[in-house]
Structure 1
């Protein structure tokens, strides 16, 4: 006889998930002001690199036996670039911070890199990644704001295309605002001693910097006005809040802009089991992360503990993001969390997300409604609080042949429900799809019909998030060849 083990109630747990995927290179910004830089070569590539390095304040010497017109023009322009008309020697690199060469010969390139490293200089042989300690990125310059893009040498044209996209997004006045902010920092500390309140100031500043057309002489006055407004609103600003945010089905590309904004301003992120690491990665890096995952029929955090945690943290002045998989309005117990916030007087907002049914339909290339075929869409939960099929389901309504039914959290009970629908008169050949890990890299879709669903074979044994879809509107998906599971994931 099998002994039944009841699931345990567990407490919310602070987590430290891996926050960065492996990096091929570490992005750094190097201070070269007043430091020596050595460049080697005659042609345009060296001229371009020399101009870039000189713009960073370096003292540039180019060793070029036969300098080309670009190099000569650069040296004559007063850009701080000096040319020595001879081949380079190892001791030329003495005292240099970086050494950059346009060298085609492997042996010479190796000697150049060895000489640089022996003297503590970082080496770069242009367009030869195997001879580089560092690489130059594609640059967007809104000084003091600098954005650099690297593809690790894999696709330089792609890097340039990304740079062009960023150029189009960043306002030309952004650098001026950043410079004004740098000069205002010490004054702001005196005006607003509280560090948390100053962070709120800088968040408001970001919005202004992206849209304001104020000229240079008006920026300081605008910053002072913003600081004054924040001080007057101090009591309100110190209050915490809760945002109940939909994380979507798993693909970070399906996270809404409003959800992104909430995650980027969060002090604490309280997240469910269904939230993927890739979506969690979108949160502000300094945000505290607390896992409150629930697993059907397994160990779970109690809902009252989750509600109490959100209210307590907001009461401490924290901006709490309660991050839920899918859409928080669909089978997410959001009403209980909103009620807890309201009862405690905590400001609470809901940010909708893409529900898994919509993502599954999109991946399958079908519509959940179809004129003359499916005039109604119905979502049902596959289990009650005990894990069994809910006893109060309106089976007659669910057996409507002109409806599409989506069963959330129903892998364990879908076979029983399918049998009940057949008993209610829904045709056994009605199309059905069992979708697992929707929108994720390991997504899959198993096609069957209501009779096959009742037999349970199509349900498999996956413990992954599973959605069951039933209805004639899914027939189009059945007419296609079974998709590769990678095609089922959002591209």
Structure 2
């Protein structure tokens, strides 16, 4: 007999669906390797843009009568990836031919407008440094773990905030992430050839990602034994699994990092009606969301929910049972684990912040807030 969850499924459709919120601008990653970029100006500000563009592999054509000391030093040292071509003259309309981008450093609005209009006429995207009115795109703050590159933009309204966000992100990402990302590129062919599309490959990459954020060193290219073992493990994992996750007492800020990672790897999420929408929005976009926990609803009986978890896991799904608060000490969680164990379904538990613990934390923070407000 199929579990009776029809009424709760209707309720889930009334919740706000996961959608992309309004964007101030669209973040894009623009390949520049071997492409011409026009840069007008020889100032220190222009030098920073030239170094950044060349680091992305661009052939940077600099149009300037003279160069500031920093710029001259940069040209003498060369680039780690791209190249520089200095034209000892001011820019002209013909310089935009074949260019992918145009960046200008202008001393006046008149000069900025002239450069902007000339680039637009040539069909080249343009940015005039520190003059937003003459910019078709912006440079954001960058966290560089190439091939992993993270761009941060405040759309020009709060650059200091953008820099602070960059510093915070820098502390979260290990330097070794660049090596793991490079290794991912090398083993990708083996993964595609060895594992079937869908859950098998995703399980491999989830395990790979856990390694990338661990303290383990990247295996040598010559000795990829660790990757072979991970491939074997992922290929052998043909059955699904269930993870019971505590969503905490309220909004998404109370989630643990482990809970967030689990939501990002879910195929199906069975959640209570007390779980906030902001928590669900952190889940993998393709994950199916099903409201199954609703107080007083006879169609949300615990037995039916457990049957649904077993059914979905046997279909090879990673099922996340998302419960409000901390499910560790709940009697129904112990019953969930027993039912899954009896059915031979691998199951794990991710604790959450309890409402009582959150209230205690709030009371501890209150005196600090009061003192800071009173000076």
Give the TM-score normalised by structure 1.
0.65
CA distance in 1 between counterparts of 2:6 and 2:187 reads: 50
1:9: Cα distance to partner? 6.6
1:33 maps to which residue?
33
Q: Aligned pair in 2 of structure 1 residues 77, 185: CA closer, same or farther (>3 Å)? A: same
Distance 1:202 1:9, change over 3 A: closer
3-state DSSP class of the match of 2:223?
A: helix
Pick the structure with greater CA Rg: 1
- Decide whether the 8 Å contact of 1:177 with 1:219 is kept in 2: no
Contact 1:11 1:305 in 2 (8 A): no
Q: Which SS does the other structure have where 2:50 is aligned?
A: helix
Superposed displacement of residue 281, structure 1 = 2.0
**Paired residue for 1:327?**
326
**Runs of 5+ in structure 1 lacking a partner?**
1-7, 368-476
Higher helix share: 2
Residue 153 (structure 1) shift: 1.9
In the TM superposition, what are the counterparts of 1:345-360 in structure 2 within 5 Å?
Answer: 345-360=344-359
- Among candidates 195, 220, 223, match of residue 221 of structure 1: 223
Cα distance between partner residues in 2 of 1:12 and 1:337: 21
1:182 to partner: Cα distance: 0.7
What corresponds to 2:248 in structure 1? 248
Indicate the SS of the match to 2:205: helix
* Cα separation, 1, equivalents of 2:172 and 2:330: 38
Alignment partner of 1:10 is 2:11: no
Does residue 1:45 correspond to 2:45, yes or no? yes
Q: CA RMSD in A?
A: 3.0
Structure 2 residue aligned with 1:312: 311
2:179/2:218 contact within 8 Å kept: no
Structure 1 residues 299, 97: closer, same or farther in 2, change over 3 A? farther
> 5 Å matches for 1:194-213?
195-210=198-213, 211-213=215-217
Offset of 1:45 from its aligned partner?
0.6
Task: For structure 2, list consecutive stretches of 5 or more residues without a partner in the other structure.
Answer: none
Structure 1: how far apart are the matches of 2:331 and 2:111? Answer: 64
Query: Match for residue 20 of structure 1?
Result: 20
Per-residue CA distance 1:172-213 (angstroms, 9 max, x = gap): 332222222212211232333454322222222223333233
Q: 3-state SS of the aligned residue for 1:238?
A: coil
Q: In the alignment, which of 76, 95, 98 is matched to residue 98 of structure 2?
A: 95
Secondary structure of the 2:242 match is strand
* Number of the residue aligned with 2:133: 130
Following TM superposition, by how much is the alpha carbon of 1:351 offset from its aligned partner in structure 2, in angstroms?
2.1
**TM superposition shift of 1:32:** 0.9
* Structure 2 CA distance for partners of 1:309 and 1:220, relative to 1, 3 Å: farther
Structure 1 residue matching 2:207: 3-state secondary structure: helix
- Structure-2 change in CA distance of 1:300 and 1:44 (3 Å): farther
Q: Aligned pair 1:145/2:136, yes or no?
A: no
Cα distance in structure 2, aligned partners of 1:279 and 1:229: 30
Partner of 1:180: 183
CA shift for structure 1 position 333: 4.3
Distance 1:361 1:175, change over 3 A: closer
1:263 and 1:332 map into 2 onto residues whose CA distance is: 23
- Matches of 1:9 and 1:54 in 2, distance apart? 58
For 1:311 and 1:326, locate their aligned partners in 2 and report how far apart those are by CA, in whole Å. Answer: 23
Checking the alignment, whether the CA contact within 8 Å between 1:9 and 1:299 is kept in structure 2 is no
1:222-371 superposed matches below 5 A: 222=224, 224-231=225-232, 234-235=235-236, 237-294=237-294, 296=295, 301-329=300-328, 333-363=332-362, 365=363
User: How far 1:27 moved relative to its partner?
Assistant: 1.4
Q: What do residues 97-126 of structure 1 show as CA deviations (whole Å, max 9, x unaligned)? A: 111112242233233223323322221121
Find the residue that maps to 1:221 and give its secondary structure.
coil
Q: 1:214 to 1:304 in 2, by over 3 A?
A: closer
Using the TM superposition, give the Cα deviation of residue 165 of structure 1 relative to its aligned residue in structure 2, in angstroms: 3.2
